[in-house]
């Protein structure tokens, strides 16, 4: 399917979702699929079922793009292993190095940058910056706000 077409990504996502609907251990996002299993034996069964679903739908994989049997991987901007999920290091560096906001628009851009990592920022919804965006208050950058 050519991905330049309008709605191609959504159509493909729905297609892949349908292929794996009954496989609750397969997490698919557009053309990335993650299979989570508690042990190697279960993983092999899950992998066999996932490949079977792809074969029924006539999906062809490019093996050099596949990471099979790995215990640490990058997925949607996160590093995932059996124990936890963490933001990728370069994303954290970008957030920490983001210039200080001087306008509400700049603050909104920063909030958009960190929004996918909100689970890693405790009490984010109580911060002054978040309240400013929600209430659209006029603000002055002070040491307290920073």
Q: By C-alpha distance, which of 77, 72, 83, 69 is closest to 29?
A: 77
pLDDT bin (cut points 50, 70, 90) of residue 144 is low
Range of the domain at 20: 8-69
Q: Do 86 and 144 sit in the same domain of this protein?
A: yes
Q: Do 58 and 82 sit in the same domain of this protein?
A: no
Whether 109 contacts 95, CB under 8 Å? no
Over residues 110-120, the pLDDT tens digits come to 878 887 787 88
Number of domains in the chain: 2
- Number of other residues whose CB lies within 10 A of the CB of residue 19: 21
Assess if residue 52 is contained within a domain.
yes
Given 33, 53, 69, which residue is the final one in a domain?
A: 69
Residues 6 or more apart whose CB falls under 8 angstroms from that of 117 comprise: 87, 91, 95
Given 54, 69, 84, which residue is the final one in a domain?
A: 69
Whether 56 contacts 75, CB under 8 Å? no
In the prediction, which pLDDT does 126 show? 57
In the prediction, which pLDDT does 6 show? 76
Nearest 10 degrees: CA dihedral of 54, 60, 65, 66?
A: 30
Rounded to whole angstroms, the Cα distance separating 113 from 7 reads: 25
pTM over 0.85: no
Mean pLDDT, rounded, of the chain: 80
Rounded to whole angstroms, the Cα distance separating 102 from 129 reads: 11
């Amino acid at each position: 399917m050519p991905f330049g077409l309008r709605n191609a990504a959504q159509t493909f996502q729905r297609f892949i979702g349908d292929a794996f609907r009954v496989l609750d251990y397969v997490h698919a996002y557009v053309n990335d699929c993650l299979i989570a299993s508690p042990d190697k034996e279960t993983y092999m069964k899950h992998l066999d079922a996932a490949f079977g679903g792809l074969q029924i739908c006539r999906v062809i994989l490019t093996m050099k793009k596949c990471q099979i049997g790995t215990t640490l991987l990058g997925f949607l901007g996160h590093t995932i292993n059996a124990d936890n999920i963490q933001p990728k290091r370069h994303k954290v560096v970008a957030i920490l190095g983001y210039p200080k906001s001087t306008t509400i628009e700049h603050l909104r851009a920063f909030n958009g940058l960190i929004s996918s990592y909100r689970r890693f920022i405790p009490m984010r919804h109580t911060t002054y910056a978040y309240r400013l965006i929600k209430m659209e208050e006029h603000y002055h950058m002070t040491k307290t706000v920073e």
